[in-house]
Chain A
Amino acid sequence: MIKITNLQKFYRTEEVETVALNDLNIHVQEGEFVAVMGPSGCGKSTLLNIIGLLDDLDEGSYVFNNVEVAKFNERKRSDLRKHNIGFVFQSFNLIDELTVFENVELPLIYTNVPAAERKKRVEEVLEKVQIMHRRNHFPQQLSGGQQQRVAVARAVVNNPKLILADEPTGNLDSSNGNEVMNLLTELNEAGTTIVMVTHSEHDAKFSDRVIRMLDGQVIMETTTV
């Protein structure tokens, strides 16, 4: 599903040029659950953003679902993104002015799903993450764990083929964290591909495969049992 070869990514500021990703290669099969680990600053988030088409790459090739997307323009990327990829962030990134229901509904609005259909799908997914009873609350009125479940619900409401999660349990205690991990596992079992960045060996155990990075390169891959 994802095939990245010889990826280079630099950050240039006035004084210095940082090599964030250096000649990196990655393959992810459809239906896989991959965890990405490595010390802080090794380029995990950068990689995830590139996979998610939020950021562009400087060199290399990126084939997504058999299509070369490295040179896609903003519009094409946005199109691809909203139909195929869901995001979960460490800091939940819900929209403060929208209720739980409306936050989850938003991706459906952007993909022009009719209202009745939207309602059905949002309710389904809220049911699944067990937050239905809070559907009319605003994000600030929820606990961190609840907020992250809403974020997961929003990421999957469009039935994306791929979910990208950047330290999804980073701001949660272990029981809330486990709930989120269970949710992701369920989704993966239902066929969704997942790429997750994490610092936690515990969370990494939920995945099929762990990719370890250092200084912008993959240094080791291990398959979990």
Chain B
Amino acid sequence: MNTENIKTAWRRLKNNKFYTAVNVLGLAVSLAAAMLIILWVQDERSFDKFHHDHERIYKVSSHLVGDGTKNVWLGSPSPVANLARENTNVEIASRITYDGNATLRNDSTHLKVSNMRILHADEEFFSLFNFPLRSGQVNTLFQQPKNAFLTQSTAIKLYGDENVIGEIFHFDDEQFTVVGIIEDFPQNSSIKANVILPLSYYAQRFTEYGGNGNWKTIDEDLGNYGFYTYMKLSPTASSSDVTNFVNSAFLKARNGAHFVDFSLDRLEDLHLISADGNKSALHVVQVFSIIAILLLAIGAINYVNLSTARSMESAKGIGIRKVIGASKKQLFFLFSTETVVIFFTAILLAVALVFLCVPAYNEISGKSLSFALGNMQVWLFISTAIVVTLLLAAIYPALQLSSFHAISALKGQLGNHFSNQTLRKALVVFQFSISITLIISTLIIGKQLQYIREINLGYDREHVFTVPLPYEAVQHIDAIHQELASVSAIQSTSLSEFYNLMDYGNATGDIEWSGKPASSNIIVARARIDEKFIPLMGLEFVEGNNLSGLPADSAAFVVNEELVKQMGLQAPYVGTEMSLHNIPGKIIGVLKNFNFKSLKEEVSPIVLWTHAYSSTLYVKTSANKTEEAIAAVAKVYEKYPSDYVFKYNFLDSQFDDLYKSDNRTGLLFNIFSGIAIFISVLGLFALTTYAAQIRIKEIGIRKVLGADVLGIVHLLSKDFILLVLIAITIACPVAWYLMNEWLSSFSYRTSISISLFVSGGVIAVLLAYVTIGLRAMQAALANPVNSLRDE
């Protein structure tokens, strides 16, 4: 590469500002978008991979027997870790459990910090996982039950400083000493907490509180699935052997009572493939990876199209240089320099764009991504893309150079002009097929998300909020109901076990009725409610009645249609005797099915009754009175002092939270589709400009001979519109197939109607027509004298 080449390249680019801009912009935008997607994909794939030997770390999940993979508990009983340690292939086994919603108090300042997540870790925790300490030593945590580690940011929240070793804080009516500060848990860790306490504290408290039935220590308690068990297997171990080992050891410990089967899943896989086998997160990652590749392809196609289109223009320059004595090699380098300049500029611009967009991107994607210039994976991906683009873009000029005829080039002709044009057309079709597929997919995704938003869940979620009550308040629930009943902004209140009505997972197989087939393995959800719950939520009965609020309720069950169906009962159902957890009673009412789980799942059986502990207050208010209602509930809440802080949650926002990741994915998909379409249209715009330019003389002559503007617009656009139509026929089946796949992850899905495909096609044709039309119009309106004189 010498200065003549750089100089020439620079001047050629400067003289063709429009092409340069389209090329650089198209490439930069597609590179930047692809880089952003790669960052996202990288992050999704990086979960729990920062531990040593992460590929050998497994987590135990519990599958209800007989239910296939559907009802999965992410936890397992605490002794499972002990059982696993008996196996020589288990190098380390560790168990932890969480306290979800703790309040910490700084005793000297009386500052309270709530919503803290406490992790109770056993002594193996830090040898299994890499969570680095900022200060202190791992073993000190386990020397005293009331020692604690805080994360850096928790320490700063509680004390305003991270040098707090030796400080005391209050939690659970006990005093704890800070003996170490750990780094905040990485965003891509599935294990996260604010505080780490030694498991010995939890164990001690468990025993003090009387244990769980006959099990008095956590090492005996085989019935609580609230622990998380992790283990590192030896490099040669087979995870299924260890699984079998753990299963039979547990079965033996439970004297043959077979409730669950454990599975061992690689921890690093669980973020994308959940324990129940749901791969939708993985599919999203795959789809986004494909979109990244498509975006690069679209950008590359623009480049290839424009550079091959322009090679006609370069032909004369090549011809002259050849006559003067340039060798093929010299010519090749001359034109490569131009390419290098374009790509170099595009990459710089792309990197700048990425840095610029990352904050907004994090906002949209809900991640905290950052781009480091040393991110080798990104560069590897990008350089592969560039090499492929260059090869594609170089093949044709290279062919031209070899079959090149200096004399015809001087006349502005190239030998393989035909094949060149065919390539360009094929690429435009490819590009538009992608764009149209994306347009149609965007429409369908949008329709599905709207469908979910508007679906009738079987109850009225508007103007209802929930408040988790502490034990101190639940004890006085009647007084609370009474007091709130007098508030005009509140229509009704109810206490229920539904901590989240849209995503409720308390299920059991412990249900009996006369005539239950031996083969039945019904898993039924259960929730305590009171007599006010059903009217408050507006659940509808198909048969029977609500609870009465009288003592007789203790032998009453309200069930849903799905349960009576699965039980195989015949109407009338009311009066049927059954028992749940050995508590006998009768069905008094059957509810129309309502959705108490994600819409990705079918409605499953549920029993509503009056047993067990419930602590979630449901409050129904009305439009414009929500503030008042919240204030009233807060006031009552404060009457019963506890460690907890008042907190409320509207059902509407719970609903949105549930589909947050779907909505985010949808939004990201829209954005990246938009970018893909933008780049395609940009390319089409440039190609039309080019076509108008090379036909400028023809247009002039036609006008002199009497052609009108419309005729000329038609002349210039008909080829391209034909290409877009071909692209539509390719895109429709592809989009149909892909969207069917995506929709199949929802149990409740919208229909794919023809009209969506028609709209997608119309949008594409309009986009193309406007793009082409604008340019064609300009060419058609130009004074023919100018274009003719030009020659």
Binding site for B on A (CB under 8 A): 49, 52, 54-55, 75, 78, 81-83, 87, 89, 93-98, 102, 106-107, 109-111, 154
Asked if B316 is at the interface of the complex by the 8 Å CB criterion, the answer is yes
Per DSSP, chain B at the interface is: helix
Given contacts A97-B15, A110-B330, contact A81 B325 (CB under 8 A): yes
B325 to A96, Cβ gap below 8 A?
no
Is B317 on the interface with A (CB-CB < 8 A)?
Answer: yes
A80 to B6, CA, bound (A): 28
Q: Does B236 contact A (CB under 8 A)?
A: no
Check if B4 sits within 8 Å of A107, measured CB to CB: no
Point out the residue from B15, B319, B324, B410 that lies within 8 Å of A96, measured CB to CB.
B15
Question: Given the interface contacts A93-B410, A97-B317, does A78 sit within 8 Å of B8 by beta carbon?
Answer: no
Which one of B8, B406, B410 contacts A98 once the chains associate, using CB atoms below 8 Å?
Answer: B8
Instruction: Given A55-B407, A93-B410, A102-B4, decide whether A110 and B325 contact each other with a Cβ distance below 8 A.
Output: yes
B322 part of interface (Cβ distance < 8 Å): yes
**Which residues on B are within 8 Å of A, measured CB to CB?**
4, 7-8, 11-12, 15, 316-317, 319-327, 330, 406-407, 410
Q: A97-B15, A97-B317, A102-B4 are contacts. A87–B323 as well, Cβ < 8 Å?
A: yes
**How many Å lie between the Cα of A55 and that of B411 in the bound state?**
14
**Can you list 6 pairs linking A and B with CB atoms under 8 Å apart?**
A52-B323, A55-B407, A75-B327, A82-B325, A96-B317, A111-B325
Question: How many angstroms between the C-alpha atoms of A101 and B8 in the bound complex?
Answer: 13
CB neighbours of B4 from chain A (8 A): 102, 106, 109
Other than the known A106-B324, A107-B325, what 19 A-B pairs have Cβ atoms closer than 8 Å? Answer: A49-B407, A52-B323, A54-B407, A78-B327, A81-B325, A82-B325, A87-B323, A93-B316, A93-B319, A93-B320, A93-B323, A95-B8, A95-B321, A97-B317, A98-B8, A102-B4, A102-B7, A111-B325, A154-B324
User: Nearest chain-B residue to A151 (Cβ)?
Assistant: B320
The answer on a CB contact under 8 Å between B325 and A97 is no
In the assembled complex, the Cα of A95 lies from the Cα of B317 at a distance in Å of 6
Select from chain A the residue with minimum beta-carbon distance to B9. Answer: A97
Chain B nearest CB from A159 CB (Å) reads: 14
- Chain A nearest CB from B324 CB (Å) reads 5
Provide the bound-state CA to CA distance between A54 and B319, in Å.
10
- Rounded to whole Å, the gap between the CB of A136 and the closest CB of chain B is 13
Q: Is the CB of B327 within 8 A of A110?
A: yes
A41 to chain B, nearest CB (A): 15
Contacts of B321 in A (CB 8 A): 95, 106, 110
The distance from the CB of B600 to the nearest CB of chain A, in whole angstroms, is 60
Q: Is the CB of A107 within 8 A of B324?
A: yes
Chain B residues within 8 Å of A102, by CB: 4, 7
Q: How far apart are B320's CB and chain A's nearest CB, in angstroms?
A: 5
Q: Which residues of A contact B406 (CB under 8 A)?
A: 54
Considering the chains assembled together, what is the distance between the CA atoms of A96 and B319 in angstroms? 13
Asked if B320 and A95 make an inter-chain contact with CB atoms under 8 angstroms apart, the answer reads: yes
State which of A49, A78, A93, A94 has its C-beta within 8 Å of the C-beta of B325.
Answer: A78
What is the minimal beta-carbon distance from A71 to any residue of chain B, in angstroms?
18
Closest to B14 in A: A97
5 nearest interchain CB pairs?
A82-B325, A97-B11, A110-B325, A107-B324, A93-B320
CA distance A154 to B406 in the complex (A): 17
Closest to A98 in B: B8
A54 to B410, CA, bound (A): 11
How many Å lie between the Cα of A154 and that of B321 in the bound state? Answer: 11
Chain B residues, CB < 8 A from A98? 8, 11
A109 to B325 alpha-carbon distance, docked (Å): 9
**Known contacts A54-B406, A96-B15, A102-B4; is A78 also within 8 Å of B322 by CB?**
yes
A170 and B134 CA atoms in complex are apart in Å by 85
How many Å lie between the Cα of A110 and that of B328 in the bound state?
Answer: 11
Contact residue among B319, B320, B324 (Cβ-Cβ distance under 8 Å from A82): B324
A154 partner residues in chain B, CB cutoff 8 A: 324
Give the complex CA separation of A68 and B407 in angstroms: 22
User: What residues on A are CB-neighbors of B11 within 8 Å?
Assistant: 97-98
Q: What separation, in Å, do the CA atoms of A102 and B316 have in the docked complex?
A: 17
- How long is the Cα–Cα vector from A89 to B324 in the complex, in angstroms? 12
Q: Provide the bound-state CA to CA distance between A10 and B324, in Å.
A: 25
Nearest-neighbour CB distance to chain B for A145, whole angstroms, equals: 19
Chain B residues with Cβ under 8 A from A95's Cβ? Answer: 8, 317, 320-321
Min CB gap A8→B, angstroms: 18
User: What residue in chain A is nearest B13 (Cβ atoms)?
Assistant: A97
Residues of A within 8 A of B12 (CB): 97
Q: Which residues of A contact B407 (CB under 8 A)?
A: 49, 54-55
Closest chain A CB from B82 CB (angstroms):
79
B258 shortest CB reach to chain A, Å: 82
A97: chain B residues at CB < 8 Å are 8, 11-12, 15, 317
- The listed residue with most A CB atoms (<10 A of its CB), out of B8, B11, B320, B410, is B320
Contact B323 A54 (CB under 8 A): yes
Which residues in B have their C-beta under 8 angstroms from that of A93? 316, 319-320, 323, 410
Residues of A within 8 A of B15 (CB): 96-97
Distance in angstroms between the alpha carbons of A81 and B7 in the assembled complex: 26
From known contacts A93-B410, A97-B317, infer whether A110 and B324 are also in contact, taking CB-CB under 8 Å.
yes
Most chain B CB atoms below 10 A, which of A89, A94, A106, A154: A106
Minimum distance in angstroms from A75 CB to a CB of chain B? 8
Closest chain A CB from B330 CB (angstroms): 7
Q: Please measure, in the bound complex, the distance between the C-alpha atom of A158 and the C-alpha atom of B322, giving whole angstroms.
A: 15
Q: How far is the CA of A96 from the CA of B320 in the complex (A)?
A: 11
Residues of A within 8 A of B316 (CB): 93
Complex-state Cα separation, A49 to B8, whole angstroms: 27
CA distance A93 to B320 in the complex (A): 7
Q: Which residue of A lies closest to B313 (CB)?
A: A96
Cβ distance A151 to chain B, nearest Cβ, rounded Å:
10
**Distance between A24 CB and nearest chain B CB, rounded to angstroms:** 18
Closest-by-CB residue of B relative to A46 is B407
Most buried by A among B319, B322, B324: B324
B330, closest chain A residue (CB): A110
B142 to chain A minimum Cβ distance, whole angstroms, is: 75
In chain A, what residue has the closest Cβ to B323? Answer: A87
A102 to B317, CA, bound (A): 14
Q: Are A110 and B326 in contact (CB under 8 A)?
A: yes
